[in-house]
Each structure stands twice: as structure tokens, then as C-alpha cells.
Amino acid sequence: MWIPFLPYIATNFRPPYTRIMTILEGLNERQQEAVLYTTGPLLIVAGAGSGKTKTIAHRIAYLIRQGVDPAQILAVTFTNKAAEEMRARVYTLLKKEKIAVNAAAGPFMGTFHSLGVHIMRQHGSLNGIPKNFSILDEEDSKSIIKDLIREHELDPDNYPPPRIRAIIRNLKNELITADDFAKQDDDTPYQKTLAALYNAYETRLQKLKGLDFDDLLLKPVLLLQRSEAARTWYENRWSHIHVDEYQDTNHAQYILMRFLASHGNIAVVGDIDQAIYSWRGADWRNLLQFEMDWPDARVITLEENYRSTQLILEAANAVIQHNKERKEKNLRSTKEAGETITLTILENERQEGMFIAEYIAHLVGSKVQAGQIAVLFRTNAQSRALEEAFLKKNIPYRLIAGVKFYERKEVKDALAYLRYALNENDLLSLKRIINSPPRGIGKVLTLKYIGSKPLAAHEKEKIKKFEVIIEKIKKAAMSESASTVLATVLKEAGFRAHYKDNKAEHDRWENIQELLSVAKKYDKDEAPEGIIKLLSEASLSTQETEIEDKDSRVTLLTAHAAKGLEFDVVIIAGMEEGLFPHSLSQTPSELEEERRLFYVALTRAKEKIAITLTRQRMIYGEVMFNDPSRFLGEIPQELVSGTDLALRAGEYNDDEISI
């Protein structure tokens, strides 16, 4: 591939040219252009499967190769998995280049929320937030809100805790503090009550010396707005900034990046066609706004797709072109044309489940690996019929909707000891651990202890034993490695005796042992920094869907959860009006997001797509008679065929439909 200025470089600067060419190995022309453009704002419009992570990784390695201090490079994304993949790619490239970079002094590559933790641990004290603040998870936040609703003597039917939590989350993501909200013009009784709850919630967090997940974005922005010292520090902290999945940023993340990129060397990667998270505050307009924020921005579009066949891309391109709010691009495959999309209509969800189960058995019999097959659906409720069919047909599967590792009781209990050891104001953790594992301290005694009420002699004895345990853990936390501190918790608090020697609790003990393995990653950090990092990782990981890449089972998951994943075969179930697109999506903007979600579902497939729908479906307790999804009519008819298996299976004598 010829790039005009490279012959001049090769002639006049041969050693640097050789280094550049090593960095550019395996990149197409547009990817190379993105890597070499290092000064000024850059927008990379990256289609599905176009190698955006690879491009960012090579760009970071190239910057370091050209002499940029690794500590001056920042790269943020949305999941720990994406950050880890980027980190692994960068250090593999640097190793290949024989460039030694200390990970502790290297580029900051992490999630937005881990960046927020980093900023607040370093400089939060300038806004009155201690370094050892606790990070509350969703369960903690909802627990506080339930208590506040009860304390304010409110009807939980009128003020449902999940809704109140969602309102507070949305306000924080829009950078609206409790004080700001209280000053708004709307003075209806409901608004006043919401303002009181928000204020009480913030007061409770302050007493706990804790931040909730949304504070990890709000508080850094407030810090930079209010503290000139912090603002000056961070304006000069990172000279080159990279932002992945820019279409998924919310207002708080957008403003944070504006603060940190005052020098103008910011490269963002995004694709409006994959913007599917407006329901959790993401604003894809931030990507459209980029060229207005940075008028001199270079725009580079990555259109070569390395994942899907050309036929799959033609179908996806045809569908997404019906959206008006997007940046034009046309994905093209590096692979062959591929198989047509198969489309089958069944009578109801039970027949749909059985058909999909038999179809998968057929695929596996044709040497397709079960772990490379995924069944996508619009709502979690659809999984029931699929699971029943898979169990009948003995199809091994995994449903991506289970309890995450860091949300399991025994893991949360062990971590709560560490949280309380570092922050004795964390009464949520105290309530969790005071009788876990059981030691005879009930709710009444717990409330008396927390409220500093007089205790009877036998109560004092129980509390004294608990306090001795906590003191031993606190002492270890201030001087020992992370894994040693956790081992102290397991021994002194009674986890080992409660779980290890109880056959019924064997799985819980294995989870605790896994937590111990995680803790060993932080043994190199000085005390108590290792424990602080462990707690931060655990808190941030609870916000992500845990999906293991290597699995020998068929994967069942929603289209939303499938983003970022890929499979050889993708089966999309329930392509009916009212289901996909969802009946709650009524406005043009909402329907465009539903179409983007279908586009994401299509582009998860490498080789084959099968689509099913039913004439009637029992869902949410009612029988629904829906028309085929409007999105099916947007796929060119020549790209779709019926499914032979449906004709061969005696129990499926339903008509096929074509588009």
C-alpha cells in the first residue's frame, strides 16, 4: 500500500521509517491514516468489525515509539473487558518494538468510571472527599432510597425505589446536583418530594463517606469546575486522549473529556449506527457535535469489515440506511459473499423454541461449534420458552442474565469487611458484616450498637468479639499485602469455618477462593493501596455483564448484551412488531434506536444469520398477535431464503414467509 510521504521518509530517515512500518503492519490505508495523524482533534467513524480497537492500540504504540511520554497518554472506554483488550494489544506491540514501559507509569487505559475513581482518589480531598471513600453498588443505593422513603413516610407505590434511583441517576449524569434540582422552577408537591429525597440521599452518602456509581462521573466534573488547582493539574496531565465508543457517552462524560482535552489532541472513535443506550443516558449527538466542538478535526471512516460476510453487511447496510440521524458509511467485507439469511415463521413461542433447538442441533451436527452460536432476543422474557426447548432437546446453553461474580453474597460480604476496615463511616458495610457469617448479633442488637445505645453484658460480649475481629483486619490493611489482608478476613471473620467445612456451601467457598486469586494481582502495591484498588475493581465490575469468550455452550442473550461480541452463527428470535421494534418505542427517534439495535444484532454474525418470528406469542401473561417486524421488509429480498429444516421437521408445517 502506497502512502505519498513514506518514500521520502524511507530515503532520508531509514531507521525511523523501519520503526513506523513495523507499527503499521497489518493495518489498512484508513487505519494507517488514523495512526499517523497524532496532532489535533481526530474523529474515527468506525463501523462494526472494522478493527477500531486495533487502530487505537497501534496509535498509542506509535505515539510512544515517536517519543511521547507513556504517562501522558489516556485511553478510556466503557467496559473493563475492552480496556484489558486494548492494554494487551498495546503492550504486545511495544514488546515487539523492544520498548520497555512500566505498567504503573504507562498509558492510563481504563473505563470512564475507573478514570473517575483515579481522579477522586488523587484530588478528591480538594472537594472534601477522603481518599478512602467507599463506592456504593446499585444494591447499596436502592437500600438507602428504600430507607429514605420509609423515613419520609411516603407510599412506595407512588415513589417506587427503582424509579427514584433512576431519576437521581439521570440527574447526576446531566450534572444536576441536589442543590441545582431544588432550585428548579417546578414547585409541584411531587417535585418538592423528589428534591427532598435527592437531598437526603446525598446527605446519607456524605455521612457514609461514599460515592455511588454516578458520582464517579459527576464528582470529577464538579472538582474540575470548582478547583482551579485541580483544573490546572488535569489540563496538563494527558497530552494525547483517546475515547472509544464516543456515541455512548452521556453529558457528564462529554464534559469531563472537554476539560481533559483542552490542548486539542483528542481522538474519538464511534459509530452512530451502533448507538443503542439512550435509555441509560447515552447521547449519540455528542458524536455529531464533535466537528462543531473541534472545527479543525480530521474525520477518518473505517469501512472495511473483518468479521462478517458481504451478504450480512449488505443486509445490515440496507436496514440502517433507513435512519436519518447518522454519519454516512458503507461497510464492505474482506470475506466472501456468504450464505443467505434464513427466515422462518412459527405458530407460537413454544414451536419457535423447539425449532431453534432443532436448528442448533442440526448446526452442531454439521460441525459448527456450540460456543460459536448465539440466540438473540429483544426482551429477557423471551428466554423462558427458549430455555424450556433447550432443556427438552438437551442443548447445553448459558443465559447471560445471571448473578455477577462481585454481586454474590459471600463475595460482597468479604469485600464489605475490607470496605469497613478502610472507612469506619461506611455503616452499610457494617450492617452487612456484623452478623455475617452468623455470630449471634441480630437486628435489634445491630441497631442498638449503631445508635450507641446502652448494651446488656451479654450483648457487650458479642460486640467485643466483633470489634476485635475488625481491629485485626484494620491492622493488616495498613501494613500487609492485599491477599494477606483478605486471608485475614477469611480466617478471623469465620468464612473458612462457615463455608469450607460445609459441603452445601462448597460453591460459595470456591467463589471466595477466586476472590483471593483476584486480590493477589494487587500484592505488589503498598498497603493499603492494594486493597483500595481491589475494592475499586470490584465496584466497577458490578456494572458490567460478565461474558466469558471461551465457552462450549450456546449463548442466549438480549441484543443489547450482544454489543461488542461476535459469533459464527446468530439466530434472532421474535422479529415481530411490538417486540422488535418494541411497543414502547413510538417516536421517530426511538424507532431509529430500535433499528440500530437490529443493525447491531445483524453485525454480530460472522458467517450465518437465521431469523424467526411467530404468528402468536404468550408474553407478559397475554397472547399477542403481531405482524412481522417492519425491519424485515428493509432487507433486500434476494438476501433472504426459507429454512429447509423447517420443511423436514414433521412438527413444523408452518408456512415460510419471504420479503
Active site residue 111: no
Q: Is 382 a catalytic residue?
A: no
Q: What is the largest CA-CA distance in the chain?
A: 88
User: What single DSSP character describes residue 75?
Assistant: E
Report the distance separating Cα 6 and Cα 20, nearest Å.
9
In angstroms, the CA 602 to CA 317 distance is 10
- Mark whether 69 is an active-site residue: no
504 is in an annotated binding site: no
Active site residue 245: yes
Please check if 172 is assigned to a binding site.
no
Between CA 138 and CA 539 the distance in angstroms is: 10
Q: Which of 244, 283, 314, 593 is catalytic?
A: 244
Q: Report the interhelical angle of 251-260 vs 228-235 (nearest 10°).
A: 70
Q: How far apart are CA 565 and CA 415, in angstroms?
A: 30
Catalytic residue among 604, 606, 608, 617: 604
Residue of 31, 77, 274, 558 marked catalytic: 274
46 labelled as ligand-binding? yes
Query: What does the alpha-carbon distance between residue 232 and residue 35 come to, in Å, rounded to a whole number?
Result: 29
Antiparallel, parallel or unpaired: β 617-619 and 622-624: antiparallel
Task: Identify the helix (H) or strand (E) that includes residue 428.
Answer: helix 427-433
- 568 catalytic residue (yes or no): no
Cβ–Cβ < 8 Å for 240, 73: yes
Question: How many C-beta atoms surround the C-beta of residue 176 within 10 A?
Answer: 18
Which residue among 30, 31, 52, 654 is the active-site one? 52
> Can you tell me the distance from the alpha carbon of 72 to that of 235, in angstroms, rounded to the nearest whole number?
11
Give the C-alpha distances (Å, rounded to integers) separating 232 from 142, 223, 458. Answer: 36, 11, 57
Contact 35, 27 (CB under 8 A): yes
Residues 285, 324: contact at Cβ < 8 Å? no
The DSSP letter of residue 339 is P
Say if residue 196 carries a ligand binding annotation.
no
Contact 240, 265 (CB under 8 A): yes
**Residue environment code for 445-462, b if the CB has 16+ CB neighbours within 10 A, otherwise e:** beebbeeeeeeeeebeeb
Q: Active site includes 280? A: no
- Can you read off the three cell numbers belonging to residue 454? 446502652
The single-letter code of the amino acid at 325 is E
Q: Any binding-site annotation on 578?
A: no
Eight-class DSSP state of 657: -
Which residues neighbour 37 within 8 Å (Cβ) at sequence distance 6 or greater? Answer: 298, 300
The identity of residue 244, as a single letter, is: D
φ and ψ at residue 511, rounded to 5 degrees: -65, -40
> Which of the residues 140, 245, 283, 459 is marked catalytic?
245
Nearest to 38 by CA among 325, 240, 314: 240
- 48 marked as part of a ligand binding site: yes
Q: Per the residue annotation, which of 22, 38, 53, 379 is the catalytic one?
A: 53
Distance CA 344, CA 615 (A): 11
592 backbone dihedrals φ, ψ, rounded to 5°? -65, -35
Nearest to residue 65, comparing CAs of 95, 89, 85, 44? 95
Q: Which strand (E) or helix (H) includes residue 120?
A: helix 112-123
Catalytic positions are 52-53, 244-245, 274, 604
Which residues sit in the known binding site for ATP? 46-53
Which residues sit in the known binding site? 46-53
